[in-house]
Structure 1
């Protein structure tokens, strides 16, 4: 999950450099969503291991 978030972040950066604002914004939004999902799953996994 974190891998896909990083991939979409790189796509957003490259698209922003090339001037594709809409694509960059969409890719950045997807990267944010995937990162939040990763964080939630990581926290759940951590608490399941701790108990």
Structure 2
């Protein structure tokens, strides 16, 4: 998954260099979705860590 984040980061940086147009907006929206997915996975991981510990 980190590989996908790096790919989308590179796409977003290239789009920013070329101008903030449709490509940059698309890459930014994909990056936001991936960010929220990772937040949910982090929360689940922390909860599971505390549940297994007790």
Could you state the TM-score of these two structures normalised by the residue count of structure 2? Answer: 0.74
Runs of 4+ displaced beyond 6 Å = none
Pick 1 or 2: higher relative contact order, CA cutoff 8 A, min separation 6. 1
Give SS of 1:36's match. Answer: helix
**Aligned pairs (5 A) from 1:1-51:** 1-19=1-19, 21-51=21-51
Gaps of 5+ in 1: none
Larger radius of gyration: 2
Gaps of 5+ in 2: none
Could you state the TM-score of these two structures normalised by the residue count of structure 1? Answer: 0.78
Count residues in correspondence: 51
